[in-house]
């Protein structure tokens, strides 16, 4: 690949990421409406769609990262793509491995191994797991998953598919977004932004995941209905418009 080709792909994937973010937000709105109105069919359908959009977004973001202009060489990009051709999580691991080689020799001797170990765990939890869900959905296994050879039912994955909700997908996306920022810093500014921000980013990541561990679908539905009922009660009977009491803001 030439430098111009790398740059063109970077800009193309930047556009794709931006568009997929818009699609994500739109589907989230539709799921929220379906949850609030107890439309179980729409909830199930839109949740599967959201899962596919998340995986598409993750793939586009990954491609954008590895084609960041002036960073990975054409040979390194090909190595990453080759690793990802059989398993996207392997591509991420190859990307991380190559990127961490750019870290200064002056860093603490255990910093690079610790970073790699932490990011490997995040890739396993928030890249590999969602990609397996995506593969099942994309191959028509919407509620009952089969094993790899399609000879038996995969009970564990079936349970995952049937219990997939917007709450789990929101957790996946938040974790993926934060992980991507960490990797992006290593790629673009390994000895400045990464060394400055890595630990604060990691602490923020852990705090957010701990907070979201307490989230439930039931609580989300309750809050959606509560918010809607409050808004409805605030509407003027004469004009039908929503009036906000500025004194309560």
Looking at residue 246, its pLDDT comes to: 44
| Listed ranges 12-21, 195-204, 235-244; the one with the highest mean pLDDT | 12-21
pTM: 0.83
Instruction: Evaluate if residue 247 carries a pLDDT over 90.
Output: no
CA distance 14 to 244: 38
Predicted confidence at residue 128, as pLDDT, reads 87
Mean pLDDT of the chain: 88
Is the model's pLDDT at 46 over the cut of 50?
Answer: yes
Q: Are 93 and 126 in contact (CB under 8 A)?
A: no
Report the distance separating Cα 45 and Cα 142, nearest Å.
9
């Amino acid at each position: 690949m030439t430098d111009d080709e790398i740059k063109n792909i970077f800009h193309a994937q930047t556009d794709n990421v931006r568009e997929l973010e818009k699609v994500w937000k739109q589907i989230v709105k539709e799921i929220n409406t379906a949850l609030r109105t107890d439309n179980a069919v729409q909830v199930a359908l839109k949740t599967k769609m959201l899962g596919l959009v998340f995986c598409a977004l993750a793939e586009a973001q990954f491609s954008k990262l590895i084609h960041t202009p002036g960073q990975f060489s054409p040979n390194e990009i090909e190595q990453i793509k080759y690793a990802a051709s059989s398993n996207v999580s392997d591509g991420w691991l190859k990307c991380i491995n190559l990127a961490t080689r750019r870290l200064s020799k002056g860093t603490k001797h255990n910093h690079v191994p610790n970073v790699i170990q932490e990011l490997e765990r995040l890739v396993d939890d928030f890249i590999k797991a969602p990609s397996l869900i995506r593969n099942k959905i994309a191959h028509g296994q919407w509620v009952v998953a089969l094993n790899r050879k399609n000879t038996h039912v995969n009970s564990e994955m079936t349970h995952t598919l049937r219990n997939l909700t917007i709450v789990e997908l929101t957790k996946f996306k938040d974790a993926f977004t934060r992980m991507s920022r960490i990797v992006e810093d290593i790629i673009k500014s390994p000895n400045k932004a990464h060394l400055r921000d890595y630990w604060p980013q990691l602490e923020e990541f852990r705090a957010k995941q701990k907070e979201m561990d307490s989230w439930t679908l039931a609580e989300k539905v309750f809050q959606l209905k509560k918010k809607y009922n409050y808004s409805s009660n605030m509407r003027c009977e004469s004009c039908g418009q929503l009036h906000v009491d500025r004194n309560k803001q």
